[in-house]
Amino acid sequence: MADEASMDMLKTIADIDNEALVTPRATPAENNASALTFSGPTNDRQRAVVAAFRHAWQGYRKFAWGHDQLKPVSGGYSDWFNTGLTIVDALDTAIIMGLKEEASQATEWIRDSLSFEKDNYVNLFETTIRTLGGLLSAYHLTGDKMFVAKADDLGDRLLAAFTNSKSPVPLSDVNLKMKKAKPPQWSNDASLSEVTTIQLEFRDLSRVTGKRIYEDVAFNVSKHIHNIGCSDHDGLCDMYLNTDSGKFKTGTTITFGARADTYYEYLLKQWLQTGKTIDWLLSDYKTAMDSMQSKLLRYSEPSKLAFVGELLSGNVYSPKMDHLVCFLAGTLALGNQNGLSEEHMKIAESLGKACQAMYKNPTGLGPEIAYFNMLPGKQEDLSIKPLDAHCLLRPEAIEAWFYLYRFTGDKTYQEWGWEAFQAIEKYARVRNGYSSVKSVKKIPVSYRYVLFIDTLGW
């Protein structure tokens, strides 16, 4: 926990909202929309997070500029899609943090160097949420229509995922230069989450370009799933769909974790994005949440923490919960803030606490997967298997605590986030950036060694 001095630096929600913007809008450049202006950090904790961003940015800029990803340990780089993923994905964060130099560097690269004439296949989902979403966010924050032009170019190329498919379910891999699409080599199946977590971005692209086709092709996926239904599990869907037939692959795991998670999140957020006017989006969301409560929600022993397990093969309960499932705490809280059940908020708070329990490890970091205990008599609420103990620095828990803090004003959620950030700084920070951690259960030998050095000469 933070000391009293640090606590004094924390501001109320109203103060943060008032201080986030120096002026409501900056003077726009010619032919651009108006832009937001951010003041940058206002307290010590925010300054620490900004310093962490700059540390990662400097490593990326030195060793991997223009490439998709930095290899922070070796100082190398990797290219997933050859589209400068890190630059586009991080730009909105730099803007919100008030980092004008970094934002200018990214904007210049996007304007002068970002090209989608790439004769290689990219993943529709990842490209949509990272690159298309990043470009759209940058536009909304700056008003610079250059970002719209880039997003329109990318969106037009991604349309092949829909037009090349035999069903309303899009293909996963798109060649941006050739405007061709195909399923992955290993299967004709598409994961539920990947084909239903692109609608917000494609709808927004339609809004900023005036081209209906983007919203239409993406929303057709949602309509298709609504029409064929998930009645076998009362609104909870199987995790794969066949792109040829458009039908679900039955008998798969029913989960709010990998391959299914954000389908449920985007039901709610699409309803909000469309002004709460499409009733079946809300109905499908509420049905799914009711079934989640009856089929997957359980409470751990001894602390009675809410967790959301899985149905293996569609019918065998497992108390396994991915770190990814922590998103649900934020989604439930968001729904409650928009008129949905108070029970959703109670579950959200308890689930947020369960996610924090996943971080109670020697490193203070959360694992990829935890198994919760439902048997009385045991002292621990959860266990972590060795192969599940790695930490990929996923954001879902901190995102959930952000929602819960904003909606409740309870600074406990800030404290949990601060503790997680400090753990990242201690165990994931390396010379050139931040790395995944092999086991959240084991403190690296180097820390045990230096603990017993009487004097530090370095």
Q: Which three-class secondary structure state does DSSP give residue 189?
A: strand
Please give the distance of CA 141 from its chain centroid, rounded to a whole number.
19
Buried b (16+ CB within 10 A) or exposed e, 43-73: eebbeebbebebbbbebbbebbebbbbbbbe
Cα separation, 50 vs 16, in Å, equals: 16
Rounded to 5 degrees, φ, ψ at 281 are: -65, -45
396 is catalytic: yes
Give me the catalytic one of 265, 381, 396, 415. Answer: 396
Angle between helices 261-273 and 327-337 (to 10 degrees): 20
57: Cβ–Cβ under 8 A, 6 or more apart, which residues?
Answer: 90, 94, 99, 102
H or E stretch covering 69: strand 69-71
- Among candidate residues 126, 216, 380, 425, the one labeled active-site is 126
Given phi > 0 = left and psi -120 to 50 = alpha, else beta, which region is 234?
Answer: left
Both tokens of residue 220?
């057709």
Q: Residue 261 catalytic?
A: yes
Structure tokens at 447: 């820390």
- One-letter amino acid at 218 equals A
Q: Is 310 a catalytic residue?
A: no
Distance CA 181, CA 190 (A): 13
Instruction: Report yes or no: 295 and 288 within 8 Å, Cβ to Cβ.
Output: no
- Contact in structure between 312 and 257 (CB atoms under 8 Å): no
- For residue 117, indicate whether it is catalytic: no
Beta bridge partners of 434: 429
Structure tokens at 388: 């599940």
Selected catalytic residue, list 89, 368, 381, 415: 368
Given 194, 261, 322, 381, which residue is catalytic? 261
Active-site residue set: 126, 261, 368, 396
